[in-house]
């Protein structure tokens, strides 16, 4: 096993630790870890990411459920459109994407590079929310607030998140949590727990689309990688008792921003390096 591969498994643990600490964000690292450290082909990496994120989020969601911090009704409303769109995206849309998306002179934007660039742009978007630390969302609710549903917007948000999850393999917690706080009026801690269940369900449903699309799955590697990530959630949950979550989230946001910029520069301007 090479040093890069060992670093990749360490990255799997960090993915879980991040989910345990701040409830989201860790899944945004899964594809970069798989592509750049384990050398998994990008489209397959998005499939693996769905499974890793799904299992990790499920473990975290069960932990929140034990503390009665999950709104199952809200999760169901959000998951229905997300189920449909993520499954169809992985089963039909991703395999239908052309091998070359754009050609300008000698430059050709391939499917693999295009997906990584799209993922990097999503990372940049996510990093802004982490750096801003969701101040406006967190001040709008209290722990005693009762869910109030904006059904049309929740359904639309679920569908959009499902498509994005299907395309790039990210869990989308950075999109789901603000939606649950603002559109369903959930308290922040309950929004995090509910988000983990939503991420788990739609990610694993999306992965079923990959299985039906005959993606070449290395189950041995995938199960080991997922187990390490899931174990990291327990360590993250323990560390959350000693680390300021807001400061950590902001620092993690800057790291995600740097990673997104690195991916864009590498894939568009330094290919093959």
What is the domain partition of the chain in residue ranges? 3-269
pLDDT at 225 over 90: yes
pLDDT at 23 over 70: no
Please identify which residue in the block is written with the tokens 């978007």: 125
Mean pLDDT, range 24-33, rounded to an integer: 75
Percent of the chain with pLDDT over 90: 5
pLDDT at 141 over 50: no
pLDDT at 24 over 70: no
Of 12-26, 50-64, 108-122, give the lowest mean pLDDT range. 12-26
Q: What is the mean pLDDT of the chain?
A: 80
Select the more confidently predicted residue: 100 or 192.
100
- Residue 161, CA distances (Å) to 54, 93, 186, 194 in order: 14, 15, 18, 15
pLDDT at 205 over 60: yes
Please report which confidence band the pLDDT of residue 144 belongs to, taking 50, 70 and 90 as the band edges. very low
Q: So what's the pLDDT on residue 223? A: 94
Percent of the chain with pLDDT over 70: 87
Among 175, 225, 179, 201, CA closest to 45: 225
Strand bridging mode 100-104 / 107-110: antiparallel
Please identify which residue in the block is written with the tokens 């569908």: 159
- Residue 7, CA distances (Å) to 4, 225, 265 in order: 5, 12, 22
Q: Which tokens in the block code for residue 241?
A: 């008792």
Alpha-carbon distance 238 to 257, whole Å? Answer: 26
207 with 30: CB under 8 angstroms? no
**Phi, psi dihedral angles at 185 (to 5 degrees):** 60, 35
Local structure of 173: helix, strand or coil: helix
Q: So what's the pLDDT on residue 106? A: 80
Q: What is the pLDDT of residues 233-260, one digit of tens each?
A: 888 877 877 776 667 777 777 888 888 8
Burial annotation 182-213 (CB, 10 A radius, 16+ → b, else e): bbbbbbbebbbbbbbbbbbbbbbbbbebbeee
Mean pLDDT, range 12-16, rounded to an integer: 85
């Amino acid at each position: 096993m090479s040093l890069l591969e060992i670093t990749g498994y360490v990255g799997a643990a960090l993915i879980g630790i991040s989910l345990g600490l701040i409830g989201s964000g860790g899944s945004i690292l899964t594809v970069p870890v798989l592509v750049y450290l384990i050398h998994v082909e990008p489209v397959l990496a998005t499939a693996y990411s769905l499974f890793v994120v799904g299992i990790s989020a499920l473990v975290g969601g069960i932990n929140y459920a034990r503390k009665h911090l999950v709104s199952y009704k809200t999760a169901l409303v959000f998951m229905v459109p997300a189920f449909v769109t993520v499954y169809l995206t992985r089963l039909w849309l991703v395999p239908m994407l052309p091998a070359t998306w754009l050609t300008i002179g000698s430059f050709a934007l391939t499917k693999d590079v295009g997906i990584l660039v799209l993922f990097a742009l999503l990372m940049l978007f996510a990093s802004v929310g982490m750096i801003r630390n969701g101040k406006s969302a967190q001040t709008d609710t209290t722990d005693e607030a009762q869910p109030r549903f904006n059904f049309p917007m929740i359904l639309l948000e679920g569908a959009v998140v499902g498509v994005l999850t299907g395309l790039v393999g990210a869990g989308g917690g950075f999109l789901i949590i603000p939606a649950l706080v603002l559109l369903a009026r959930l308290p922040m801690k309950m929004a995090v727990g509910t988000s983990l269940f939503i991420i788990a369900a739609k990610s694993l449903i999306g992965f079923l689309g990959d299985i039906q699309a005959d993606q070449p799955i290395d189950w041995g590697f995938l199960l080991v990688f997922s187990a390490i990530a899931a174990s990291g959630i327990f360590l993250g949950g323990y560390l959350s008792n000693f680390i300021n979550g807001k400061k950590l989230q902001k620092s993690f946001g800057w790291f995600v921003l740097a990673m997104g910029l690195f991916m864009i520069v590498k894939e568009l301007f330094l290919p093959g390096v």
